[in-house]
Amino acid sequence: MTALESRHRRLNPSLFPLEDVVNESIGFLRQHEPPEGYFVGFSGGKDSIVTLELCRMAGIKHQAFYSATGIDPPEVVKFIRREYPEVTFLRPKMTFWEGTRRNGPPLRIRRWCCDTLKKSPSKHIPLKHRVMGIRAEESFKRASRPRVDQYNGKQILYKPILGWAEWHVWDFIEYRGLAYPSLYDEGFGRIGCVICPFIVGPGPATQKRLQRAKDRWPAIFRIFEKVVTEWFCTKRWQKGCKSPEEYLAAYYRGFE
């Protein structure tokens, strides 16, 4: 453990200057570099942009991969193709729409989509040492996991920016002059999957974010509602709902 890592355990990482966290993260990547190189998970979001740039600065051997879910914002897909042509696109064997017809729409307690669309497409990649742009600040669950983590008994996850605050991320992007998706400047705080059980819920703020997404990507939501209707009429897993319209309304409220 480096001196700065030890200090991180005692102090709030957001208090550290940008230069300190950058140097520490680069040292972390170099310290754990495997002979075959890292697999770097890339989503086109701000945290993955920073993580990939740190790998470049560290001069380590690495390959970047993007799991193309098919329901990411089209603007992000275009951004990755334009700004990061070296990133390899990985595609799932089953589309989100096929999965919804089979399993129903994903729920917070039943997120089949993450395994199917994001994790499974990379299972055949032999690089088991995987770098991810995960930050503890984003959730309690992420904060509770170690910086070097085992996944599924086969992969080792490395989280170079685990202790970074959001201001570190944006200051680094500005300092390095890195491009980022314009959606951030348009009020979108997250740019993950357009359809996600974590963007629905009963609160006014959540409903506002959901409506913004519906207004921005109406075609994706139209397809989603059509597929959910087909599934509802076939599977009849209703959660007390008598029609697909009632089910969708309850889904968007997070079944609260």
Q: Alpha-carbon distance 16 to 66, whole Å?
A: 30
User: Looking at the predicted structure, is the pLDDT value of residue 153 above 80?
Assistant: no
180 and 211 assigned to the same domain: no
Of 157, 186, 215, the domain-final residue: 186
- Looking up residue 156, the CATH number of its domain turns out to be 3.40.50.620
Q: What percentage of the chain carries pLDDT values higher than 70?
A: 92
Verify that 83 and 130 share a domain, yes or no: yes
Q: Is 127 left (phi over 0), alpha (psi -120 to 50) or beta?
A: beta
Question: Which pLDDT band holds residue 236 (cuts at 50, 70, 90)?
Answer: low
Structural domains counted in the chain: 2
Same domain, 179 and 225: no
For position 151, what pLDDT does the model report? 81
Q: Which residue has the higher pLDDT, 85 or 13?
A: 85
Domain carrying residue 86: 3-186
Are 17 and 100 in a shared domain? yes
Given a cut of 50, whether residue 140 has pLDDT beyond it is yes
Kindly list the distances between the CA atom of residue 181 and the CA atoms of 45, 97, 114, 238, in Å, as whole numbers in the listed order: 7, 25, 22, 38
- Tell me whether residue 195 is in a domain: no
56 and 150 assigned to the same domain? yes
- Answer whether residue 192 is part of any domain: no
Give me the long-range contacts of 52-59 (CB less than 8 A, separation at least 24).
52/84, 52/133, 53/172, 53/176, 53/178, 54/22, 54/25, 54/26, 54/29, 54/160, 54/161, 55/29, 55/131, 57/22, 57/26, 58/26, 58/29, 58/30, 58/33, 59/30
Residues 45-61, mean pLDDT to the nearest whole number: 98
If asked whether residues 43 and 160 sit together in one domain, one would say yes
Which helix (DSSP H) or strand (DSSP E) does residue 157 occupy? strand 155-158
Please count the residues of the chain.
256
Residue 41 lies in a domain: yes
Is-above-0.85 flag for pTM? yes
Do 52 and 154 share a structural domain?
A: yes
Range name among 3-12, 44-53, 94-103, 199-208 with the lowest pLDDT average: 3-12
Same domain for 207 and 178, yes or no, is no
Burial class for 204, CB neighbours closer than 10 Å (0-12, 13-18, 19+) = exposed
What pLDDT is attached to residue 237?
59
Same domain, 232 and 153: no
- Nearest CA to 132 out of 16, 49, 214 is that of 49
Q: Does 135 score more than 80 pLDDT?
A: yes
Q: Would you say residue 45 lies in a domain?
A: yes
3-state secondary structure of 110: strand
Mean pLDDT of the chain: 91
The tally of CA atoms less than 13 A away on the side-chain side of residue 120 is 13
Please check whether residues 176 and 231 belong to one and the same domain.
no
The kind and range of the H/E element at 130 are strand 129-131
Give the pLDDT confidence of 55-102 residue by residue, as tens digits. 999 999 999 999 999 999 999 999 999 999 999 999 999 999 999 999
3-state helix, strand, coil in the chain (%, to 5): 55, 10, 35
Residue 193 lies in a domain: no
CA 16 to chain centre: 25
- Same domain (yes/no): 225, 116: no
86 burial via Cβ count (<10 Å: 0-12, 13-18, 19+): exposed
Identify the DSSP state of 193.
-
Instruction: Judge if 205 and 113 occupy the same domain.
Output: no
